[in-house]
Structure 1
Amino acid sequence: MHATHLHNRFAKKEVRRVRFGVTRGQAILFLITFSLFFYLLTELVFASVAEGSAGKENEAVVASAPSLIVQEVTVREGDSLWKLSVRYQEEANMDVQRLVEEIKVINELEDVVIYPGQTLLIPIPQS
């Protein structure tokens, strides 16, 4: 008879410790949620600040409108703000980058994407 292991039924059993508190997975989930919440909060705050400042920029353009002649242009296939600015640079008497920014402000564009058929206003200062 082989007895490789004898079990003593009177021996103290190993006590398993119960872990109370936060597990690693719960901590990671909390940090991700916390970060996402503050990211969205800051986006909301900065979006409302940006909308307020955009309105002031447009008011400044309207205030300077008497000194500007505005030319209406219909966007054609293949046009971009840069190409339009190069085309009207001499009439506007500004460098191309500044004219792109002026066109964006006057037309209330958030970025440089324009579409064929779209009507844009090009600022031309009075001589």
Structure 2
Amino acid sequence: MSIPRWANVTAVLIVGCFLLFFIVRTDVTAADPYTHTVEWQVETGDTLWKIARAHTGNREDVRRTIATIIDINQLDNNVIHPGQTLKVPVIEDTD
């Protein structure tokens, strides 16, 4: 049993529209919300979550801040050590 040609075209169009929507949506949400960076001296007990939470506005996702900290400091993973200096992006809370 073969699939009708129109079904293949329809499937391709649906997938194409979905991908286009996803790409456009990613560009819109990828805008940099950070106003500036600060230097943070890592202390015993600090975690990326704790540091990011202290510098992220109430409306922003802490996970995004963590990813940005990892990116701008060129970290290989989420392991940090006391004495390490990190650049931390800051989102000013406008509320």
TM tier, smaller: 0.5 to 0.7
- Deviation of 1:87 after TM superposition, in Å, equals 1.4
Q: Matched residue of 1:120: which SS?
A: strand
- Which is richer in helix? 1
The correspondence for 1:115, drawn from 67, 71, 81, is 81
Question: What are the residue-to-residue correspondences of 1:23-102 with 2, within 5 Å?
Answer: 68-90=35-57, 94-102=60-68
Q: Structure 2 length as normaliser, TM-score?
A: 0.55
- Deviation of 1:95 after TM superposition, in Å, equals 1.0
Structure number with higher relative contact order (C-alpha < 8 Å, ≥ 6 residues apart): 2
Q: Structure 1 length as normaliser, TM-score?
A: 0.42
Task: State the Cα RMSD in Å.
Answer: 2.5
Structure 2: gaps of 5 or more residues = 1-30
Runs of 4+ in 1 over 6 A off after TM superposition: none
Identity value in percent: 35
